[in-house]
């Protein structure tokens, strides 16, 4: 009698306990199948992991690293699909911020005989660099960009940097990690004299070794951070035009690979950043440059007149070649350590 009284409630309790166990096992099995652990998070090595990787790959990322002395170049995949960005860096240009504005660019170009050999009319808006109106880039998911053409003389050193960018930013030099530049170099709009063209124009002034030392016939940009105490931090970067024309790339220049000096670029007095622990920077300048096969950085950016000096004609004008680099800028920033 006593046994019969408690037997059925006991059976019911056992049945509920076993049912809960079965339910827990079923949920755990389903979690593994859909890529979740028993705590509801994606399970490592499961199908959920693959889904996460696919989602991450859809954002902007970088491939095919080309590493050079003091900088690297990467192709941008899924250009314009913005990933998480740091708000602590010095932002000079991106989707939301621009410090590349009228007053922070310059151009000497006028409709005069000095600039008659330009590839386009001197009135071409891209030369002035003052047209900083944002343009949507269809080949970069509609990213907001600006476009211009940087120009460098190859003959005379007078106004040799025909134009350039010089946005302002203020901070401590010791806190700088690198410069990041997301850019596309446009084949249409660029005019980079070939080795044959340079030889045909300047062979009466230079021998074959000097011609090779004048320029590589490649995309060359100069990046210069200006600081207190007349401090300059500089890097010339070379971009293979045959490989990278019309492709979105990221150029990263760590400050530890840049040249530090005071004085004029043609008479550099080299320094070490450790000597200037409290130095402040105030701007970043970007220019088109000439660069030949010489290793002496004092010769970076030399033009024809640097080679012939006193033989520079005072009466008959020397034909002027221009190096013109069309570029579309998506991002420019100085990163912090």
pLDDT at 236 over 90: yes
Please name the residue that has the structure tokens 């063209």.
197
22 and 159 together in one domain: no
How high is the pLDDT of residue 210? 95
| Tens of pLDDT, residues 127-140 | 999 877 899 999 99
108 and 206 together in one domain: yes
142 and 47 together in one domain: no
44 and 94 together in one domain: no
Mean pLDDT calculated for residue range 202-223: 96
User: What letter does residue 41 receive in the DSSP assignment?
Assistant: S
Weakest-pLDDT range from 29-33, 82-86, 145-149, 237-241 = 29-33
163 and 47 together in one domain: no
| Tens of pLDDT, residues 48-100 | 433 434 344 478 999 988 999 999 999 999 999 976 666 789 999 999 999 99
How high is the pLDDT of residue 15? 43
22 and 87 together in one domain: no
DSSP string, 128-191: H------EEEGGGTTEEEEEEEEEEESS--TT-B-EEE--EEEEEGGGEEEEEEEEEEEEEEEE
34 and 108 together in one domain: no
| Percent of all residues in the chain with a pLDDT value above 70, rounded to a whole number | 82
| Tens of pLDDT, residues 243-276 | 999 999 999 999 999 999 999 888 899 999 999 9
| CB 188 within 8 Å of CB 263 | no
Instruction: Count how many Cα atoms sit within 13 Å of the Cα of residue 38 in the half-sphere of its side chain.
Output: 7
182 and 282 together in one domain: yes
Read off φ and ψ for residue 126, nearest 5 degrees: -65, -25
Query: From residue 93, how far is each of 144, 150, 208, 227 by CA, in Å?
Result: 10, 17, 41, 20
Mean pLDDT calculated for residue range 103-125: 96
160 and 225 together in one domain: yes
| Number of alpha helices (DSSP H) and beta strands (DSSP E) in the chain | 7, 16
Report the domain count for the chain: 2
How high is the pLDDT of residue 161? 98
Residue 17 burial (10 A CB sphere; 0-12, 13-18, 19+)? exposed
pLDDT at 39 over 90: no
41 and 154 together in one domain: no
210 and 103 together in one domain: yes
170 and 247 together in one domain: yes
- Domain range holding 6? 2-53
Query: From residue 270, how far is each of 131, 190, 256, 295, 298 by CA, in Å?
Result: 36, 34, 14, 15, 10
Instruction: Count how many Cα atoms sit within 13 Å of the Cα of residue 56 in the half-sphere of its side chain.
Output: 7
**In the predicted model, what is the mean pLDDT of the chain?**
85
């Amino acid at each position: 009698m006593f046994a019969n009284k408690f037997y059925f409630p006991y059976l019911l309790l056992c049945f509920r306990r076993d049912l809960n166990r079965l339910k827990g096992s079923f949920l755990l099995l389903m979690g593994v199948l859909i890529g979740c652990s028993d705590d509801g998070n994606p399970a490592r090595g499961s199908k959920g992991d693959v889904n996460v990787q696919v989602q991450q790959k859809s954002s902007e990322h970088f491939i095919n690293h080309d590493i050079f002395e003091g900088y690297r170049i990467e192709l941008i995949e899924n250009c314009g699909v913005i990933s998480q960005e740091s708000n602590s860096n010095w932002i000079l240009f991106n989707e939301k911020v621009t410090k590349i504005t009228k007053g922070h660019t310059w151009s000497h170009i006028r409709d005069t005989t000095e600039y008659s050999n330009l590839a386009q009319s001197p009135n071409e808006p891209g030369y002035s660099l003052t047209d900083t109106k944002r343009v949507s880039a269809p080949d970069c998911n509609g990213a907001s960009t600006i476009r211009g053409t940087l120009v460098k003389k190859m003959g005379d050193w007078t106004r040799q940097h025909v134009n350039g960018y010089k946005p302002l930013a203020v901070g401590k030099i010791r806190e700088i990690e690198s410069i990041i530049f997301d850019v596309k170099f446009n084949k249409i709009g660029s005019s980079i004299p070939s080795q044959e063209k340079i030889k045909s124009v300047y062979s009466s002034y230079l021998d074959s070794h000097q011609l090779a030392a004048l320029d590589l016939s490649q995309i060359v940009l100069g990046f210069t951070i200006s600081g207190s105490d007349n401090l300059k931090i500089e890097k010339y970067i070379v971009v293979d035009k045959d490989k990278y024309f019309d492709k979105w790339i990221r150029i990263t220049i760590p400050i530890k690979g840049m040249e530090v000096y005071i004085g004029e670029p043609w008479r550099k007095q080299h320094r070490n950043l450790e000597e200037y622990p409290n130095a402040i920077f105030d701007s970043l300048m970007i220019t088109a440059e000439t660069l030949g096969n010489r290793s002496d950085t004092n010769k970076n950016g030399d033009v024809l007149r640097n080679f012939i000096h006193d033989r520079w004609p005072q009466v008959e004008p020397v034909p002027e070649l221009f190096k013109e680099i069309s570029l579309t800028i998506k991002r420019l920033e100085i990163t912090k350590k």
